[in-house]
Amino acid sequence: MKPVLMCCSVSVDFDGFYALQGADLKVYPHEVRFLIGPNGAGKTTLLDVICGKTRASSGKVLFYSHDITDMPEHKIVQLGISRKFQSPSIFHQLTVWENMELALKQDRGLFAVLRAKMSEADRDMIITLLQRIELLDYADQKAGSLSHGQKQWLEIGMQLIQFPQLLLLDEPIAGMSAAERERTGELIHEIARDCAVVIVEHDMDFVRRFSKQVTVMHEGKVLCEGTMEDIQQNEKVVEIYLGREEKAC
């Protein structure tokens, strides 16, 4: 099977500090890939490189057969890669409904948007998705007034309505209650029926519960890959990461 995403020895140089030092990653269709690793391992930076927020100083990023290493952010999104940031970044001054409206998969050119009308199908789609993320009752509220967990869901909803082929999630369950976490985990697996997901997560219980393939990062490199069981057996991982965490617990 052809990978959706291929990162080939990607390095990122922040004025002499290498946040990524030749990271490799392959993600296949319908996969839910968890990225774990201690703080500062470079997980967020890797997602930033994939979505174009940060530029790789060397290496390549391929999305199917497109080389997206130097592509502008909005073009990468238009190809079908969508990104959820670590801190919820929705538009606080717009209503929940308007946030979803902007996220709709559409022609984002100026003149197309000037003429854009909300079609019946779009309206139904937004209603369905708002129901799924349990925000339909808040449709007319300013997004800034939502709770932290609701903001996270709204942002996930805004990714879903784009029907991306690759979804990048950075710590999506931060600040959520146990029930919300459970629901988010299920949501992520529902999503994976239609697209590949790369998800950065710190919460090990959540990873255990919802992961199949896990990639461990350390000091800007990929340390190893496998199921959670494989990884827990890996001595290096235990040493740098799990071991340390278990000690802390």
Partner 1 sequence: MIKKNWMYWMFFLALFLAPFYLTEFRLSLLGKFLCFAMIAIGISLIWGYTGILSLGHGVYFGLGAYCMAMYLKLEASGGRLPDFMEWSGVNNLPWFWKLFEHPIISISSAIIVPVLLAMFLSYFTFRNRIKGVYFSLLSQAIVVVFVTLFIGKQEWTGGTNGLTNFSTVFGFSLSSPLTQIVLYLLTVVLLLSMFLFSRWLTRSRFGRVLVAIRDSENRVRFLGFNPTTYKVFVYSLSAAFAGIAGAMFVLQVGLISPAMMGIIPSIEMVLWVAVGGRSSLIGAIIGAIVTNGAKSFFSENYPDIWLLFLGGLFIAVVLFLPNGLAGVYQSVKQRKKQGEVRANEASSHVLQRVSRF
End-to-end CA distance of the chain: 40
User: Considering the rule CB under 8 A, would residue 198 count as an interface residue with partner 1?
Assistant: no
Four-residue CA torsion sign, 240, 241, 243, 247: positive
Whether the Cβ atoms of residue 43 and residue 222 lie closer than 8 Å to each other: no
Q: Which residue is nearest to Mg ion (CB)?
A: 44
| Interface map 21-50 toward ligand ADP (x if CB under 6 A) | ----------------x-xxxxxxx-----
Residues within window 137-166 making contact with partner 1, judged by CB under 8 A: 139, 158, 162
Q: Are 33 and 227 in contact (CB under 8 A)?
A: no
Which of partner 1, ligand ADP, Mg ion, none binds 17 (CB below 5-8 Å, type-dependent)? ligand ADP
Q: Which is nearer to Mg ion, 196 or 200 (CB)?
A: 200
Task: Summarize as ranges the residues that interact with Mg ion (CB under 5 A).
Answer: 44
Whether residue 155 contacts residue 88, with contact meaning beta carbons closer than 8 Å, is answered with yes
Q: Which of residues 4, 10, 19, 188 is near ligand ADP by CB under 6 A?
A: 19
180 binds, among ligand ADP, partner 1, Mg ion, none (CB under 5 to 8 A by kind): none
Among residues 13, 24, 98, 134, which is the contact residue for partner 1, using CB under 8 A? Answer: 98
Query: How far is Cα 191 from Cα 69, in angstroms, rounded to an integer?
Result: 26
When CB distances are held under 5 to 8 angstroms depending on the partner's kind, the choice from ligand ADP, partner 1, Mg ion, none that residue 94 binds is partner 1
For residues 205-239, one letter each, b for 16 or more C-beta atoms within 10 angstroms of the residue's C-beta and e for the rest, the string is ebbeebbebbbbbbebbbbebbebeebbebeebee
| Closest to partner 1 by CB, 69 or 82 | 82
Residue 192 DSSP symbol: T
Residue 167, token pair as written in the block: 């979804």
Residue 126 CB, shortest distance to partner 1, in Å, is: 11
Amino acid letter for position 123: R
Q: Rounded to whole angstroms, what are the CA distances from 69 to 53, 162, 210?
A: 11, 21, 30
Contact 78, 163 (CB under 8 A): no
Q: Which residues bind ligand ADP (CB under 6 A)?
A: 14, 17, 19, 37, 39-45
Q: Which residues bind partner 1 (CB under 8 A)?
A: 51, 53, 72-74, 77-78, 82-83, 85, 89-94, 98, 101-103, 108-110, 113-114, 116, 118, 139, 158, 162
